[in-house]
C-alpha cells in the first residue's frame, strides 16, 4: 500500500463558530500511519446492513479491522460464525459468548457451545462517506 501524505489543518475544524483562515495552515498526514497499528494484521471491510447503527456503523461505512487485537468483552468485532461474516459487539461471560447488535430490530446471537466461531478481528476505526 503506497503511503501518501494528505494535507491536514494544524487545528481542528470548528463545528460551532467559524475559525479564521489562519487556523488552516497545512501539514501532511498519512491515513495509513494514523489508522493502522499493525500493518500485516490490518484489513478493511465495508458494512452491509443496519444491525450496528446504534454504534455508528452505517451501511456502506468502511471498517478498519485489526486481527492482532484480543477479543474482549464490549469490543466491536468482525466474526466468522458458521460460515458467515458478521460485525457485532462482543459480550463475553464465563463460558458464554453473545454477539450483540446495536439496533433493537435485531436479536442478539447467542453462540452455542461447539459452534464454529472465529473472532476475525477487532474494529479500530470507522470511515464514513458523506
Catalytic residue among 9, 14, 51, 105: 51
**pLDDT confidence of residue 1:** 47
Catalytic residue among 88, 96, 105, 128: 88
Domain locations in the chain as residue ranges:
1-35, 38-127
Buried b (16+ CB within 10 A) or exposed e, 59-70: eebebbbbeebe
The CATH code that applies to domain 38-127 is 2.10.109.10
pLDDT in tens, the chain (130 residues): 455 555 555 555 556 666 565 555 667 777 777 778 887 888 999 999 999 999 999 999 999 999 999 999 999 999 999 889 999 999 999 889 999 999 999 999 999 888 889 999 999 999 997 7
Q: Decide if 107 is catalytic.
A: no
Taking the C-alpha atoms of residue 75 and residue 65, their distance in angstroms, rounded to an integer, is 12
pTM above 0.95, yes or no: no
**pLDDT confidence of residue 126:** 95
Q: How far is CA 1 from CA 59, 82, 122, in A?
A: 25, 32, 21
DSSP-based three-state secondary structure for 24: helix
Q: Decide if 88 is catalytic.
A: yes
Amino acid at each position: 500500500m503506497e503511503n501518501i501524505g494528505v494535507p491536514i489543518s494544524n487545528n481542528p475544524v470548528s463545528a460551532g463558530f467559524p475559525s479564521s483562515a489562519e487556523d488552516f495552515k497545512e501539514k501532511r498526514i498519512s491515513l495509513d500511519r494514523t489508522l493502522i497499528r499493525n500493518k500485516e494484521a490490518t484489513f478493511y471491510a465495508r458494512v452491509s446492513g443496519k444491525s450496528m447503527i446504534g454504534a455508528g456503523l452505517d451501511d456502506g461505512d468502511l471498517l478498519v479491522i485489526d486481527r492482532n487485537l484480543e477479543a474482549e468483552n464490549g469490543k466491536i468485532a468482525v466474526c466468522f460464525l458458521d460460515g458467515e461474516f458478521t460485525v457485532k459487539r462482543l459480550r463475553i461471560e464465563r463460558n458464554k459468548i453473545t454477539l450483540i447488535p446495536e439496533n433493537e430490530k435485531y436479536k442478539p446471537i447467542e453462540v452455542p457451545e461447539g459452534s464454529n466461531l472465529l473472532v476475525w478481528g477487532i474494529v479500530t476505526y470507522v470511515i464514513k462517506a458523506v
